[in-house]
């Protein structure tokens, strides 16, 4: 029997995977959804191929599927249901305090007959961010609200300097209200580091987005 991970490629899903592994969960698959409309990871704006490279770098297989905006729930359930015959008994999520999302995933997983695992649930977002930094994860900022976070931070690492920058601002430390999103390129569960070698900035709908033009796995 094994568990799968709801995978965005960002810091919370990565930290949730890390802590699930530490607790002894056997992880068989990362499950990632890409917007059928924009062909990018929803909200993060990450290119699907970069998520595939993460899977290679970590060494856990990836199941990547497109999801329609108006049919996300149905697409999610269909994808997860397809993995259950292979022995999946639960799914790991990176929620921290969103009761609305917790209720949704519990409803879906109860319907599918699998367990919900929430390693980060109930912790303060300050503690979660500290844990990410203390454990050596390299999370790069790939999108941010232009009215809250300076363009200068796009493409930079989430570190102590960024945590200090957020203090005193109306920003959740982990960006749980959509203030910013990340892609993790290295850390204790990575066998190889992802090197992002060329980027450009795109401004759209009040957000900065980091377009990763080229990237590779380190030797």
Q: Tell me the C-alpha distance between 147 and 149, whole Å.
A: 6
Strand, coil or helix: 149: coil
Residues 111 and 50 in one domain: yes
Backbone angles phi and psi of 198, in degrees to 5: -150, 135
pTM attached to this predicted model: 0.95
Q: Tell me the C-alpha distance between 156 and 124, whole Å.
A: 23
Q: Domain holding 165: CATH number?
A: 3.90.1490.10
Residues 106 and 141 in one domain: no
Strand, coil or helix: 7: coil
Q: Domain holding 44: CATH number?
A: 3.40.50.620
Residues 63 and 135 in one domain: no
What is the pLDDT averaged over residues 83-102? 96
Q: Tell me the C-alpha distance between 202 and 76, whole Å.
A: 29
Q: Residue 177 to residues 43, 123, 124, 193: CA-CA distances in angstroms?
A: 11, 16, 14, 28
Q: How far is CA 15 from the centre of its chain?
A: 9
Residues 72 and 142 in one domain: no
Residues 57 and 136 in one domain: no
pLDDT of the residue at 57: 98
What is the pLDDT averaged over residues 134-149? 96
Residues 56 and 130 in one domain: no
Q: Which range among 31-45, 48-62, 85-99, 192-206 shows the weakest confidence by mean pLDDT? A: 31-45
DSSP-derived pairing of the beta strands 115-117 and 88-92: parallel
pLDDT of the residue at 44: 66
Residues 149 and 194 in one domain: yes
Is it the case that residue 75 has pLDDT exceeding 80?
yes
Proportion of the chain in helix, strand, coil states, percent, rounded to 5: 35, 30, 35
Residues 14 and 54 in one domain: yes
Question: Which domain-ending residue is among 64, 96, 117?
Answer: 117
Number of domains comprising the chain:
2
Residues 112 and 130 in one domain: no
Residue 76: give the domain boundaries: 2-117
Question: Which domain-ending residue is among 117, 147, 168?
Answer: 117
Is it the case that residue 43 has pLDDT exceeding 70?
no
| Residue 151 CB neighbours (<10 A) | 11
Residues 72 and 171 in one domain: no
Residues 99 and 134 in one domain: no
What is the pLDDT averaged over residues 156-172? 94
Residues 9 and 106 in one domain: yes
């Amino acid at each position: 029997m094994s568990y799968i991970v709801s995978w965005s490629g960002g810091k919370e899903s990565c930290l949730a995977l890390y802590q699930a592994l530490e607790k002894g969960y056997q992880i068989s698959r990362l499950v990632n959804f890409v917007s059928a409309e924009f062909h990018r990871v929803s909200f993060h704006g990450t290119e699907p191929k970069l998520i595939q490279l993460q899977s290679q770098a970590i060494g856990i297989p990836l199941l990547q599927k497109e999801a329609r905006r108006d049919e996300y729930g149905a697409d999610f359930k269909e994808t997860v249901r397809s993995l259950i015959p292979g022995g999946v008994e639960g799914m790991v999520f990176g929620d921290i305090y969103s009761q609305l999302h917790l209720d949704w995933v519990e409803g879906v997983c109860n319907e599918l007959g699998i367990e919900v695992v929430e390693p980060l649930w109930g912790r303060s977002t300050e503690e979660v961010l500290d844990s990410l930094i203390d454990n050596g994860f390299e999370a790069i900022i790939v999108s941010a609200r232009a009215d809250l976070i300076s363009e200068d931070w796009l493409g930079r690492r989430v570190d102590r300097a960024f945590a200090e920058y957020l203090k005193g601002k109306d920003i959740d430390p982990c960006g749980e209200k959509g203030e910013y999103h990340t892609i993790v390129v290295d850390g204790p569960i990575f066998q190889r580091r992802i090197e992002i070698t060329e980027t450009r900035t795109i401004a759209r709908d009040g957000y900065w987005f980091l377009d990763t033009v080229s990237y590779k796995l380190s030797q």
